[in-house]
Amino acid sequence: MRLGVLDIGSNTVHLLAADVHPGGRPLATTSDRSVLRLMRYLTPAGAISDEGVAALEDAVRQARRVAGQERVDALLATATSAVREATNGAEVIARIEAALGQPLQVLDGETEARLTFLAVRRWFGWAAGQILLFDIGGGSLELAAGSEELPDLAASVPLGAGRLTVQFLPDDPPGEAAVERLRAHAAALVEPIATAFAALPRPDHVVGSSKAIRSLARLVGYPAPGWSGSERMLLPREALGAWIPRLARLPASARQELPGITADRTFQIVAAAVALHTAMTALRVDELEVSPWALREGVLLRYIEDQAHRAPEDDRTRQKE
């Protein structure tokens, strides 16, 4: 079966097509992204502007065309914080569904964290033990922790890189004073969550997922040996903290020349670095390992499992008939 996951996030509209079967690893065949940075289109009242909705519709139609070309058997369309929190969210969802030609699933922050945790658990396996997960999107920061396939605790806070850039770092370059205001804001939001996570067992494995964290790892992290000669990327908190003042002094045009910082992330990478560093500090994490899998893979895995569980029930129903 070929599935498509359409992730309508705060930064991008991203389609991932993959060949899947129950019990097997999803094999990606196509990845298609439209960079939107929806936070730019928010009005003072918190609505997505007409221009922003039109850009969303165009991106969704493009993804729908690619899904058709890839001959996906089912398209799993999800939206996260930018859509769910917009004051005109109901209208935006209706217009997206019209462009998509099917219903849209709007994920709340905790569900987003749980699905991402599922993907991370499958990637690292049971041997990883107690996992602590950090995931930074455009609109929110997700945290999750646990020793099983689903987390014991999952949380979402409005500390996404796009949101924070618009609210705290509108100037280019932002400068250190603005960064310190952002750091204080992030610390205040993370503190109560950090207290809740501190009550859980100490993590055996700390993981970061999302494009922003992968970009920061390529900038400040280092590779280390993994399973069977593979390579894994580690991101130390100390190195990340040392880079933040430099990033804050550089204009966006110069940031995109740095290792790992792509053009679509250059404006938001400072806010992402501050949010991640603040969260790692609050949870007393010195280093994390980057996961190649995140939300989209979690959506795929959950759908495969649901289909596998539904098949025996359908068989029993047919036998009764």
Per-residue pLDDT of 26-54, as tens digits, reads 899 999 999 998 888 999 999 999 999 99
How far is 231 from 194, CA to CA, in rounded Å?
30
As a whole-number percent, the residues of the chain with pLDDT over 90 amount to: 85
Residues 159 and 130 in one domain: yes
Domain-located, residue 71:
yes
Domain at 247, CATH number: 3.30.420.150
- Chain-wide mean pLDDT for the chain? 93
Instruction: Report the predicted TM-score, pTM, of the whole model to 2 decimal places.
Output: 0.93
Output the pLDDT for position 24.
81
Residue located via tokens 């700390």: 206
Residues 193 and 145 in one domain: yes
Output the pLDDT for position 277.
98
Q: Write the single-letter amino acid at 50.
A: D
Residue located via tokens 């679509």: 264
| Torsion, CA 261, CA 264, CA 265, CA 268, rounded to 10 | 150
Residues 274 and 141 in one domain: yes
Output the pLDDT for position 321.
57
Is the pLDDT reported for residue 92 higher than 90? Answer: yes
Q: pLDDT class for 165, splitting at 50, 70, 90?
A: very high
Tell me if the bond preceding 203 is cis, omega within 30° of 0: no
Per the structure, the complete domain to which residue 162 belongs is given by: 109-290
Domain-located, residue 164:
yes
Domain-located, residue 153:
yes
Relative to beta strand 222-225, strand 153-157 is unpaired
Domain at 84, CATH number: 3.30.420.40
Number of domains in the chain: 2
Domain-located, residue 32:
yes
